[in-house]
């Protein structure tokens, strides 16, 4: 991948994934649905969070040599946290949101939910910050193309309810 392609990918894709992950996570945490429409809004934010979380876990977990782009394209010796701890959440996400299958469940404890979102967010944020810190200045500036990653370092509990 050329230098120009790497910069474009960070600016166009990873930066967007990070911004959307943060935005949707805050919306999921602060949503208090009290109407059917409010529940639909919550579902939209939870599903969107799941898609962006999945994409980022994939980006940080792929090994060099895979077809898709990964953190290794930028930092060849990058080592993120072991994704084993978030595999149950990713499995529920896959079954319920990413693919419509017969393996989905109607049992609330078996569905992808807020606790799963918290676990994924807690895995992804330190990984993003580690990745950002290891990038060279040009890549780091590109990663911030859609906004600073600084809000990721703040506690989601600081968010205002919507």
Report whether 15 contacts 143 (CB < 8 A): yes
Low-confidence spans in the chain with pLDDT less than 50: 155-162
Report whether 62 contacts 72 (CB < 8 A): yes
Q: What is the pLDDT of residue 160?
A: 43
Contacts of residue 4, defined as CB under 8 A and 6 or more positions apart, other chains included, come to: none
Report whether 24 contacts 45 (CB < 8 A): yes
Q: What is the pLDDT of residue 158?
A: 46
Q: What is the pLDDT of residue 149?
A: 57
Other CB atoms within 10 A of residue 40 CB: 11
- Entry pTM: 0.84
Q: How far apart are CA 105 and CA 6, in angstroms?
A: 39
Q: What is the pLDDT of residue 141?
A: 82
Q: What is the pLDDT of residue 35?
A: 94
Nearest to 113 by CA among 86, 92, 84, 91: 92
């Amino acid at each position: 991948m050329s230098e120009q392609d790497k910069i474009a990918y960070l600016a166009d894709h990873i930066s967007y994934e990070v911004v959307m992950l943060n935005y949707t996570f805050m919306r999921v945490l602060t949503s208090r649905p009290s109407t059917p429409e409010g529940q639909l809004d919550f579902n939209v934010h939870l599903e969107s969070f799941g898609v962006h979380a999945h994409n980022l876990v994939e980006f940080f977990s792929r090994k060099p040599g895979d077809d898709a782009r990964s953190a290794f394209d930028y930092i060849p010796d990058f080592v993120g946290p072991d994704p084993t701890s978030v595999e149950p959440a990713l499995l529920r996400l896959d079954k319920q949101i990413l693919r419509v299958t017969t393996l989905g469940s109607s049992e609330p404890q078996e569905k992808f939910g807020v606790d799963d979102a918290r676990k994924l967010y807690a895995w992804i944020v330190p990984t993003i910050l580690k990745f950002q810190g290891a990038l060279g200045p040009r890549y780091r500036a590109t990663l911030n193309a859609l906004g600073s990653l600084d809000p990721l370092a703040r506690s989601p509990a600081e968010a205002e309810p919507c």
